[in-house]
Structure 1
Amino acid sequence: MQFLARWDNERLSATTRGIPLVDGIATDDIGTRGWRPSRGDLALPALTLDETAFAANRDLFLRWCRSSGVVVAPHAKTPMSPELARSLREAGAWGTTVANIQQAAVLLSHGERRILLANEIGGLAAGRRLGALLSAYPNVELHAFADSPEAVATLAEAARVADRRELSVLIELGAGRAGARDRAAIEATMAAVLAADRLTLGGVAAYEGAVATADADETLRAIAALMGCTVEAFTMVRAAAPRLPLILSAGGSAYFDIVARALAPGAQADGNATIVLRSGALFFADHGIYARAFTALDRRGGLLIDGTHHSAAQSFRPALTLWAEVLSRPEAGLAIAGFGMRDASFDQGLPVPLRVFRDGVEQDGLAGRLSVTRLNDQHAFLNVAPDTPLAVGDIIAFGISHPCTCLDRWRVIFGLDADGVVRRALPTQFG
C-alpha cells in the first residue's frame, strides 16, 4: 500500500518545496549545507521548525503531565512526522494517537507500538482494512474508539481478520462531534463489546474541543458537562470490567488542565485507571489560537508543576515559522509576498509578520509595520504602514495560527538549530 512507503534514503530535489535548485540531496545530508532561510538559501516559501522551542515545549508539557498524574499520547495528525512522533515517545510520551487507518499504518511502519485510534473508522470494509494492517503487527497495543454497536461490529471484524484474541475498545462520549450522547447509547455500545468474542472493554474517551464556543463561560460549562458524562460512563465500564486496567482519555487540546482536573478524582479512586491525554498541536504552539489559549489558561491559574505555578503564555514557545519573499510593491501601502493558502493555515487566523531580513541582516522595526490582510492561492497581501522601507526581495518570517492546518500543506519541514541554521529535513506523511 502506498501509505506504507518509507522515507529511507529519500533524495529531495527542486520539486520539493523549500529545496534549492539542486539535482538531488539525501535527507541525511540536509544538515551539512549550512542553509539559513533568513539569507534566502532555501527556495521560498518554506516552513521551518525551531527545534529548541519544540524540545522546550515537549519537556515542559511532559513535566506538567507527570506532576498532574496523567500521560500523553500526542496526536500524530498534527505533523504526521514519524521522527517527531518518535522523539516525543522517547522523551516520555505514553504512546501515539492517530485519526484513521492510514495514519496508523504510517506510525506502525516506523516502529510505534502503542497507538490510540481516536476515531470511529466506518463500516465492515474499514474493519477488514484495519484487520489486514493489524495482522502485519501482531504485537501492537491498539485501543480504538466506538460510539455505537455498528462501530463495535467494525472493530470485531478487524479483530477477526487480524486473528487477534483481544482488541481494546474505548467507549467514546461526545457532544458536537462523534460520541455516544446518552446512557442508552453507552449501554448499547458496551453490550456490543461484551457480546463480541475478540473485543474487550478498554475504558472511555471524549473530545472536549468540539464543545468549545466563542463564549468562555459557556465553553467551561459544556466541558464540565461532557467530563461529567465521561466519568459516569467510566463507572459503568468499571462495573462491567471490574479487574481490567482501564483508560480515561480526553483530547487535551486547549483545555488540558480542565479535563485533567475533572478526570483525576475518578482515576485516583479507581486505582487501576490511566488518564491519557491526546494533545498534539501544543508542542508546536503558535501565534494565534494556542497563544490565546495559553493566555486563557493563565487566567485559570497557569501551569501547576510540582507545586509551582508557571505562566503558560510565557513558557510555551511558537516553534513554526513560514518564510516568504516580497515579490512586489505595486502601490503605496501594499506588498505582495510569495505564499498563500496553499502554504499557510488561515482557518483560525492569518499569518503574523515577525521579522524582516535583507541580504541576511535583520531589519529592526519593519515587521511591526506590516500586517497580512488576505491570501489567495499563492500570494499574501500585506498592508504596509506609510514610509516603511520594505523592498522587493526582503525575506519575512511569519508566525502562524493553528499548526494542524499549516503542517499538512508541507511535504518537508526544515528543523532549525538555535542559530537559525537548517540542521535536518523532517518529511511528513500526510495521506
Structure 2
Amino acid sequence: MLSISPWDARPLSATTRGIPLVDGIPSEEIGSRGWRPSRGDLALPALALDEAAFAGNRDLFLRWCEGAGVNVAPHAKTPMSPALARALREAGAWGTTVANIQQAAVLLANEIGGLAAGRRLGALLSAYPEVEFHAFADSPAAVAALAEAARHADRTELSVLVELGTGRAGARDRAAVEAVIAAVLAADGLVLGGVATYEGAAATPDRDETTHAIATLMERTADAFALVRRAAPHHQLLLSAGGSAYFDVVAKALAPVAKTDGNAKVILRSGALFFADHGIYARAFAEMDRRGGLVIDGVRRSAADGFRPALTLWAEVLSRPEPTLAICGFGMRDASFDQGLPVPLRLWRDGIEQQGLAHKLAVTRLNDQHAFIQVPADSTLAVGDVIAFGISHPCTCLDRWRVIYGLDADGAVTRALDTQFG
C-alpha cells in the first residue's frame, strides 16, 4: 500500500453520525452487533456499501483491464477510505490517484499551483521518500512548482506527466506541450514521466459531438506521447486517462500506443465505477453497451448488467403533512444532487419490507436536511417507515460522510469504514 500521512486513521468515536448513540463501542466490534439499517438500528440517515456489489465491480473491472492491456490507479478522492483503497490495491490495482496534496499517495492527478504549493508538496514527499510519485503539469509555471517540490524533498527524479486537456486543465496545443517538455528538461530534479489527460471534460449532451471530441483528445494525447518519447527515449513512460464513463474508448485508443512503444503503461484513474450508481453511471454503462459492451476472455458482456450500484442511502419518513407529500430525514448535506436526485428503491416498516410501495415514490427536491417525496394520495406510507435510496454520482455523496457501513447480502452491517475527507 502506497499511502501518505493524511490517511492516518482516526477513531470512529470522532463522529456519531449514523452510529447508534451508544458510547464505548470499539470500531472492530461494530460488525458483530447484527445491526440492520432496515430495522432502524442505525441513527438515520446513514450511507451503506453493498460489500458484494463493490467486490463484484472491482473484480469485473480488473479482469477487463487485464484483457484490455491497461492498468488502473483508482481515484482515492471518490471514497477517501484507506480500507477501500487498500482492498483495490491488494486486488491488483497499479496504484492510487489523488487530486491534491492532502490526498497525495502515488499519482497526483492535478496541477499543484504555485511555488508555495511546491514547498508544501516537497515537505510531504521528504517525509515519505519511498513513495513512487507522478504529478501533472500543463505549463512551465506548474513545472517550476514541481521543481521546487523536488528541491525541498531532495528528489533527483520527480516524475512529471505532461497534461493534455479540453474543457478543464491541460495543454491545449502542440506549442504548450513542447513548452512543458522543455521546462521539465531544463529543471533540476525532474524527469519526463509520460502524458496524462481527462476525457470526461470533453463530454457534452450530444452523443456524436462527445464521440468526436474524445477521439480528437485521444489523437492529441498520442501525438504528445510521441513528443515526450522523443525527449525521453529510454524511460518507461505512463499514458494516463480518467477512464470511468469512457474507459472502453480510452483503452481502444491508448493501449495500442503503449504496446507499439514497448516501454509504456496505460494507467486509468477510474474511481466512481467501482461504486456504480442509479444515475449517471447507470446511463454511462448503458451507452457503453451501445458501443459494444465489455469483452472479457473473448466473451462480450453487458456493462449495465455487470456493474451493480453499491451505495444506498437509508432514511426514515419524518412527516406526511399532505396526502401527496412526505418528508424524509435526509437532504443536501447527506446525498448527491448535482447529477440527479436520489431514487427510492425499497421500503421497510418495523423491520419488515413493504412490497410495491417504494417504486411509487419520487424525490422532487431537497433542503439541507429534508427530502420532499411525492406520494400517491392513496399510499399507506407512514411516519417511521425506513426507505433505501439509490444515488447518482458517488463522488459527491461519499464526501458528505465520515463513516459508511458495509452490508452483507442479508442487509446486516459487516463493518464501519471511516473516510478521510477532513
TM-score of Structure 1 vs Structure 2, range by shorter chain: over 0.9
User: What is residue 180 of structure 1 aligned with on the other side?
Assistant: 171
User: What is residue 112 of structure 1 aligned with on the other side?
Assistant: none
Q: SS where residue 154 of structure 1 aligns? A: helix
Deviation per residue, 1:252-296 (Å, 9 max, x gap): 020000011011221111011100000000000000000000000
Shift of 1:3: 7.0
2:163–2:196: 8 Å Cα contact kept in structure 1?
A: yes
- Comparing 261-270 with 229-238, which one deviates more in the overlay? 261-270
User: What is residue 19 of structure 1 aligned with on the other side?
Assistant: 19
The separation in 2 between residues aligned to 1:227 and 1:427, in whole angstroms, is 37
Please state if 1:81 is matched with 2:81: yes
User: What is residue 65 of structure 1 aligned with on the other side?
Assistant: 65
- Comparing 264-273 with 147-156, which one deviates more in the overlay? 264-273
- Change in Cα spacing, 1:5 to 1:213, as seen in structure 2 (3 Å) is closer
Please state if 1:403 is matched with 2:394: yes
Note the residue ranges of structure 2 that are not aligned, 5 or more in a row. none
The separation in 2 between residues aligned to 1:412 and 1:243, in whole angstroms, is 45
User: What is residue 160 of structure 1 aligned with on the other side?
Assistant: 151
**Which one-letter code corresponds to 1:271 in the other structure?**
G
The separation in 2 between residues aligned to 1:50 and 1:4, in whole angstroms, is 26
The separation in 2 between residues aligned to 1:5 and 1:92, in whole angstroms, is 20
Q: SS where residue 354 of structure 1 aligns? A: strand
User: What is residue 117 of structure 2 aligned with on the other side?
Assistant: 126
2:7–2:82: 8 Å Cα contact kept in structure 1?
A: no
**Which one-letter code corresponds to 1:304 in the other structure?**
V
The separation in 2 between residues aligned to 1:391 and 1:81, in whole angstroms, is 35
**Which one-letter code corresponds to 1:245 in the other structure?**
Q
Please state if 1:362 is matched with 2:358: no
User: What is residue 274 of structure 1 aligned with on the other side?
Assistant: 265
Shift of 1:6: 2.7
- Change in Cα spacing, 1:50 to 1:161, as seen in structure 2 (3 Å) is same
Q: SS where residue 265 of structure 1 aligns? A: helix
User: What is residue 46 of structure 1 aligned with on the other side?
Assistant: 46
Q: SS where residue 181 of structure 1 aligns? A: coil
Q: Which runs of 4+ in 1 moved over 3 A?
A: 2-5
The separation in 1 between residues aligned to 2:123 and 2:8, in whole angstroms, is 19
**Which one-letter code corresponds to 1:4 in the other structure?**
P
1:45–1:322: 8 Å Cα contact kept in structure 2?
A: yes
Alignment of 1:402-421 (within 5 A): 402-421=393-412
The separation in 2 between residues aligned to 1:430 and 1:144, in whole angstroms, is 21
The separation in 2 between residues aligned to 1:61 and 1:229, in whole angstroms, is 26
The separation in 2 between residues aligned to 1:97 and 1:120, in whole angstroms, is 13
The separation in 2 between residues aligned to 1:155 and 1:198, in whole angstroms, is 9
Note the residue ranges of structure 1 that are not aligned, 5 or more in a row. 109-114
The separation in 1 between residues aligned to 2:159 and 2:109, in whole angstroms, is 12
1:11–1:24: 8 Å Cα contact kept in structure 2?
A: no
Using structure 2 for the length normalisation, give the TM-score: 0.98
1:11–1:25: 8 Å Cα contact kept in structure 2?
A: no
1:65–1:71: 8 Å Cα contact kept in structure 2?
A: yes
Using structure 1 for the length normalisation, give the TM-score: 0.96
1:193–1:199: 8 Å Cα contact kept in structure 2?
A: yes
The separation in 2 between residues aligned to 1:258 and 1:4, in whole angstroms, is 34
Structure 2 counterpart of 1:220, from 181, 198, 211: 211
2:6–2:420: 8 Å Cα contact kept in structure 1?
A: no
The separation in 2 between residues aligned to 1:283 and 1:359, in whole angstroms, is 32
**How many corresponding residue pairs?**
419
Q: SS where residue 18 of structure 1 aligns? A: coil
Q: SS where residue 141 of structure 1 aligns? A: coil
The separation in 2 between residues aligned to 1:75 and 1:323, in whole angstroms, is 25
Deviation per residue, 1:131-179 (Å, 9 max, x gap): 0000011111001000000000000000000001110000000000000
User: What is residue 312 of structure 2 aligned with on the other side?
Assistant: 321
1:340–1:379: 8 Å Cα contact kept in structure 2?
A: yes
The separation in 1 between residues aligned to 2:157 and 2:5, in whole angstroms, is 26
Q: Percent identity?
A: 77
Q: SS where residue 327 of structure 1 aligns? A: strand
**Which one-letter code corresponds to 1:6 in the other structure?**
D
Please state if 1:32 is matched with 2:56: no
- Comparing 24-33 with 133-142, which one deviates more in the overlay? 24-33
The separation in 2 between residues aligned to 1:340 and 1:216, in whole angstroms, is 32
1:327–1:336: 8 Å Cα contact kept in structure 2?
A: yes
Shift of 1:11: 4.3
Q: SS where residue 19 of structure 1 aligns? A: coil
